[in-house]
Structure 1
Amino acid sequence: MSVDISRVSFDPLKHYSRIVHQQGRVTLDADANEQTAVLLHYLRTVVADVLGPAAAPLGAPGFTVTRIARDPDRDLAIGAGRLYVDGVLVENDAPTTYLTQPEGYVDPETAPVPEGPALAYLRAWERDITVIQDPAIREIALGGHGPDTAARAKVVWQVALHAFGEQEDPGGAEATVWFRSWLDGLYAPRGLLAARALHEPEAPADACVTAPRARFRGPENQLYRVQIHTSGVGAFPGDDGRRVVRPRRRGAGRDLRPEAPQATFVWSRENASVALPVASVAGPVVTLASWGRDHRLGVDVGDLVELVDDATAVHAADEVPGTPPQRVHRVVAVDVPGRTVTLDADPGAGPPGGRPPLGVGGDPELHPYLRRWDHRPQGGAGALPVVLDTWIALEDGVEVRFGVPQDCGPAREGSGERAPGRFRRGDHWLVPARTVPGDVVWPQDEEGPAAVAPHGVVYHYAPLAYLPGGAGDPVPLVARFAPLPPAAG
């Protein structure tokens, strides 16, 4: 989910300590959001500097992992309490289990408790919440279907398990070191993105034709969101799109990253904030709970949409995706009085011959919604392939280019090929486009638009316990700390 904002202006490298409002000046949403970001950056940096990358208080030692006596092979107990990961407060309000954790949506068939040695770890991140996910946010004094107000950001956590291979098991003493190394290499080299609108166009082939000046030509300011839809690698120009990149070996150990298909992406001119709540799903027919605020922020025949709910949204965080992403569908019919939208295919069917995605239905507990994307792929529907080192036109003069770090090594030792960038599902970049300069707001370097890492999602990790094979007791890996004693006097 995303929110309707003008832009994100916070930059930790500028080291601003606070926002200073001036009298008689316009106050923007970006100013208030930056003030919150400045304060959170300070608080979380202090906590991380004091406590380290992961620590829990002795009085409320959250996320202890233990075996369940009645069912030691099928589930694990997760204790209630608090944990600070990279300075972020992560809270588990009540004891739970691996299979029943509130925002894990774990399928025991596809993600069972491993029989052999494994590592239990915590994954935490911030998720945007609107009135679709939490209707209590809406102020009913403005009307039952009146305007919504501010959105929220929520810290979401999941306990995940990684089963060690036969030659991979580091043992309890080295599990934390192994875990950090695994995470560092999982998405290396990280895929980058550059964006532009105002630039010198290439000279036309016909000398008698005058090329129009390249610039942003949209009628209003926009916040474009470019988001990775399928995890994988970027393809260099000339690849046939079916290339599968095999992982490299790092040092003396094995590189355990799976083979990666070509990544795909989608984009939205409204920061993917056009979302319509769903009441029910029957095959390709989706019944909406309500329409958008106006026609511009709704859906129409020909639009591209994705059917999402809480379970599918949080599974985008999987380090090694166990299920494919939801398909991007084209709207083929709209019944306004009946509040129905007909898609080009059943969203629960999945690709022909492939593994179906997590089913999305009309369960109100999972807050399903239709999210609109604004790209227009060839062939009618689906996501766009990630092609490296090539300017890709979005619309109205806005262009983006995927790339990899300049110091990235070769894909294979002794070869002249550059290693392709690795992109994770949910990675996204925000591109503010402004009508006054006719350009996008984007950092520059000596060569023009800079290639930057994804603006989000930022994930935080903590190793929780090493699980020996069989029914052995888990070995805790989280540091515990006692509160500071009261000051003397």
Structure 2
Amino acid sequence: MNGDFARVTFDSAARFSRVLLQQGRILLEADFNEQSAIHHHFLRSLIVDLIGRHWRAGDSFTLAVDPQGTADFSISAGHFYLDGILCENDSACSYATQPWPYFPDAEHEPPTAGGLAYLECWERHVSALQYPGLREVALGGIDTASRAQIVWQVRVASQPWVDAHLALVLGALQLRLAIAKPEDRPPIQLVIDHVTNTQTAFTNALANFPGAAGDCATAGDLLDALDAARPLMRARAVHDATEDDPCSLSADAAFRSRENQLYRIEVHDSGLADGHATIKWSRENASVVFAIRGAPKLDVESNSISVSLESLGHDHRTGLCEGQWVELTGDAFEFTPVAPPLGQVSKIDRTRQTIVIQLQQKTTVDFAHCTLLKRWDQHDGVNAAGVLQVEEHNSPIWLPLERGVEVQFRVGGYYRTGDYWLVPARVASRDVGWPQTAGGPAAIPPHGVQRHRAALAYFKRDAADGWEFGRCGCSMLPLCP
């Protein structure tokens, strides 16, 4: 969630049951948001404990041959519960016309042979820039609360796709194993063996379609294996014990700022820490976003883009300056694993509310799909594309962001575009809010995006017989028809 939040406080391990307001106290947005998170955690856990992680209501989300006779397949209407999250398909659709479609991308075309169709859902942040109906006209259309939205997609996993992704997962796990202490190696090796066995079982299931009774369990293991090597990050800011004056900031103080911040460290390019994975960061949780007016205009000769914006922000904190890195984004990038194009602001016309963005690399992106401009704040150490290369260390080597805030990525992670960590930094403590262990700051997986997956069906497709499906998953019928 990249809203304008001070911090995100929900922690399921704390076992809080509700938020209790007290008289005469200030109400923070974090308290309200935590109450909502507690409620959703309870409700979704109850659904999973009573019925299971993945199940459909009746014949919902059943795949079949497209009645229109196209090369596509149909998806029936109804409800599917994925880890307790309700996915709603209001009307029957096809793979190509589902409510949250893929944008043109060769990786996501319906495969020509066989594979696994699965459902993936997640929560995304929606602001008034994307959904103008959130603004209250009676208040002058000011920006108030934003929303969390459940989105889902039916996706397909072919054998080459699975092999490519699991190769990255296994590569990351092998790196962990190589640097682990002898006593820490057995559990890592167990994970490697499980992923390898799952990959072999999936290959056999596709070869033996329609397969055996246990093939659906194999499909579930396969989808879980995609997250077997989530990256781990630590964050810190060390106090200067000699600085006691609250009206001044020592040059030795770790967090040297006069404003509280919520840093967001987000993966830009997917891959391993071998020169492929990159990150970007924002001191405002990437909440400084601008609506694009009309289609951006690309100047091929100078490789620059002219963009008209609805607003240039209200102040320095929410505005733009020349030299800053920005990305052109929108649903086209949120619904595909493609990193949005980054560029550097080279010119600002505040009268016409237009800016010129200098791209550092040639791109084939269709800028007509770009509806939002998002500001990022990385500056020192960026490469030619404006991002930071991921470097992993288990030694005392840290990556400085700014104002004393530092992060460290532990060895053996598979980084995916859009994954992020949140680091609240506070002036009063001159520190960051980060979980601690006996050895210092804890290494934790990304705070998001939490993606949930469930197998829908194995399928086979050939020119003679068309589509053939082997459905996976449980179905629940109402107690009272």
1:34 is matched with 34
The 1:109/1:10 distance shift into structure 2, 3 A limit, reads: closer
Determine whether 1:44 maps to 2:80: no
1:142 is matched with 139
Distance 1:38 1:337 in 2: 46
Residue identity opposite 2:109 in structure 1: P
Aligned residues between the structures: 414
The 1:34/1:125 distance shift into structure 2, 3 A limit, reads: same
Give CA-to-partner distance per residue, 1:134-161, whole Å, 9 cap, x none.
00001111214xx211000000100101
1:128 is matched with 125
Give CA-to-partner distance per residue, 1:361-409, whole Å, 9 cap, x none.
2x6xxx71100000014456421101112311111111011114xxxxx
Deviation at 1:233, TM superposition (A): 1.2
Distance 1:162 1:49 in 2: 28
1:395 is matched with 402
Deviation at 1:70, TM superposition (A): 3.8
Deviation at 1:117, TM superposition (A): 1.6
TM-score (normalizing by structure 2): 0.81
The 1:198/1:113 distance shift into structure 2, 3 A limit, reads: same
Q: Which runs of 5+ in 2 are unaligned?
A: 164-199, 242-249, 299-304
1:287 is matched with 308
Distance 1:384 1:463 in 2: 35
Distance 1:475 1:194 in 2: 43
SS in 2 for 1:127: strand
Determine whether 1:182 maps to 2:186: no
Deviation at 1:294, TM superposition (A): 2.4
Runs of 4 or more off by more than 4 Å in structure 1?
A: none
RMSD: 2.2
2:478 is matched with 483
1:115 is matched with 112
**Among 302, 306, 325, which residue is 1:304 paired with?**
325
Answer yes or no: is the 8 Å Cα contact 1:116–1:164 preserved in 2: no
Residue identity opposite 1:42 in structure 2: F
2:146 is matched with 151
The 1:328/1:477 distance shift into structure 2, 3 A limit, reads: same
Distance 1:266 1:398 in 2: 14
**Among 318, 335, 339, which residue is 2:349 paired with?**
335
2:372 is matched with 369
TM-score (normalizing by structure 1): 0.80
SS in 1 for 2:317: helix
1:246 is matched with none
Distance 2:350 2:240 in 1: 45
The 1:187/1:480 distance shift into structure 2, 3 A limit, reads: closer
Deviation at 1:114, TM superposition (A): 1.7
SS in 2 for 1:136: helix
Deviates more, 1:272-281 or 1:374-383: 374-383
1:66 is matched with 64
Deviation at 1:212, TM superposition (A): 5.4
Answer yes or no: is the 8 Å Cα contact 2:220–2:454 preserved in 1: no
Spell out the pairing of 1:408-423 with structure 2 (5 A cutoff): 420-423=412-415
Answer yes or no: is the 8 Å Cα contact 1:55–1:83 preserved in 2: yes
Answer yes or no: is the 8 Å Cα contact 1:125–1:157 preserved in 2: yes
Give CA-to-partner distance per residue, 1:314-337, whole Å, 9 cap, x none.
213xxxxxxx41222100011111
Deviation at 1:476, TM superposition (A): 1.6
Answer yes or no: is the 8 Å Cα contact 1:309–1:360 preserved in 2: no
Q: Which runs of 5+ in 1 are unaligned?
A: 202-210, 236-240, 242-261, 317-323, 351-355, 405-419
Determine whether 1:453 maps to 2:445: yes
SS in 2 for 1:39: helix
1:434 is matched with 426
Residue identity opposite 1:71 in structure 2: G
Residue identity opposite 1:399 in structure 2: E
Distance 1:326 1:435 in 2: 32
SS in 1 for 2:125: strand
Deviation at 1:313, TM superposition (A): 1.5
